[in-house]
């Protein structure tokens, strides 16, 4: 029963990793940018939610109404003012600039909020649980998993069914010809980053509800998101979610064996996938 419980907890945790990964995957797909500051932006969103709940007295879930648009705006501005200047044939500038950004966000948060651990309080929701076949499944993890699935379904729909998704795909395919369609690449990239950070905002708030956070935990979230992307296979959103779930289950099983093995088990799964099936478990079929 303990094992069944560990696996279910792992699956639910995996939804969160799927969210970490979806934002990363989206911007890589559209502009081949790997955002090293992704994890720190998740933590930034968590702190924004903390401030929103403390100063406005909002419920953590209601704080999403502020944090999601705020992060999207930050994403748009970041891309327009900074990251667009780094895009080109050379991969060093975007990598190093987002790396610098990561250090800036970490130390900025440290300066403002200190290194103390924080947490968002969700009141009764935190302890509410559903009994299921002898197991007790927390309502909050379940809600977080549902939001992750809905967010990824929404992204999928947006990519394949809307003009904006069409613009994303066209720009990803051939940015030069996309300009001939009247698409301003700088604007399209900024919209993609805004969307990515909107998902980051969701991820940040649910992370903060689930666990303690401090300014230094961003890089590990980047790594989890990245591992989910590689395990799932590049270019497939549902694969990304599946990768996140596998990572969550691996960590949960590792923790069941020995608490020190939680994170290590996830990394080992990632390395095993890299060794055996580097294209990921569920790569997109199209060329």
Stretch binding other proteins (CB under 8 A), from 30-38, 139-147, 150-158, 204-212:
30-38
* x/- map, 154-193, other proteins, by CB under 8 A: ---------x--xx-xx-xxx-xxxxxxxxx---------
DSSP string, 120-157: ---THHHH-EEEETTEEEEHHHHHHHHHHHHHHHHHHH
Cα dist. 18→96, 221, 267, 278 in Å? 25, 11, 16, 19
Of 91 and 153, the one with the shorter C-beta distance to other proteins is 91
Question: What sign results for the dihedral spanned by CA atoms 179, 163, 148, 45?
Answer: positive
What single-letter DSSP state applies at residue 111? H
Strand partners, 118: 213
Cα end-to-end span (Å), the chain: 43
Phi/psi at 32 (nearest 5 deg)? 55, 30
Contacts to other proteins from residues 244-273, by CB under 8 A: 260-261, 263-264, 267-268, 270-271
In angstroms, give the least distance from the CB of 156 to other proteins.
14
Contact indicator for 44, 175 with CB cutoff of 8 Å: no
Region at 161 (left for phi over 0; alpha for psi -120 to 50; beta for the rest)? alpha
> For other proteins, which residue of 7, 34, 62, 125 counts as binding (CB under 8 A)?
34
Per CB under 8 A, 217 contacts other proteins: no
Per CB under 8 A, 285 contacts other proteins: no
Per CB under 8 A, 275 contacts other proteins: yes
In angstroms, give the least distance from the CB of 111 to other proteins.
5
Q: Which residue ranges make up the site for other proteins (CB under 8 A)?
A: 32-34, 36, 82, 85-86, 88-97, 99-104, 106-108, 110-111, 163, 166-167, 169-170, 172-174, 176-184, 219-220, 222-223, 226-227, 230, 260-261, 263-264, 267-268, 270-271, 274-275, 278, 286-287
């Amino acid at each position: 029963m303990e094992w069944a419980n560990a696996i279910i907890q792992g699956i639910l945790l995996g939804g969160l990793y799927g969210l970490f990964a979806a934002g990363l995957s989206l911007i890589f797909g559209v502009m081949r940018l790997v955002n090293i500051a992704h994890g720190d932006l998740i933590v930034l969103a968590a702190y924004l939610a903390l401030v929103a709940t403390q100063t406005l007295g909002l419920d953590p879930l209601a704080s999403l109404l502020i944090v999601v648009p705020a992060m999207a705006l930050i994403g748009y501005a970041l891309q327009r003012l900074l990251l667009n200047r780094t895009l080109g044939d050379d991969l060093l500038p975007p990598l190093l600039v987002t790396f610098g950004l990561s250090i800036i966000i970490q130390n900025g948060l440290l300066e403002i909020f200190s290194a103390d651990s924080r947490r968002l309080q969700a009141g009764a929701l935190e302890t509410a649980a559903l009994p299921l076949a002898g197991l007790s499944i927390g309502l909050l993890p379940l809600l977080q998993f549902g939001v992750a699935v809905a967010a990824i379904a929404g992204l999928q729909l947006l990519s394949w069914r809307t003009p904006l998704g069409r613009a994303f795909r066209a720009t990803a395919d051939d940015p030069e010809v996309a300009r001939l369609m009247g698409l301003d690449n700088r604007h399209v990239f900024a919209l993609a980053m805004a969307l990515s950070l909107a998902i980051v905002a969701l991820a940040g708030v649910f992370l903060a509800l689930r666990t303690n956070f401090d300014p230094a935990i961003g890089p590990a979230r980047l790594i989890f998101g990245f591992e989910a992307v590689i395990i799932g296979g590049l270019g497939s959103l549902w694969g990304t979610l599946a990768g996140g779930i596998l990572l969550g289950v691996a960590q949960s099983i590792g923790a069941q064996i020995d608490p020190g093995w939680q994170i290590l088990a996830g990394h080992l799964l990632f390395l095993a996938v890299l060794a055996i099936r580097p294209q990921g478990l569920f790569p997109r079929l199209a060329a």
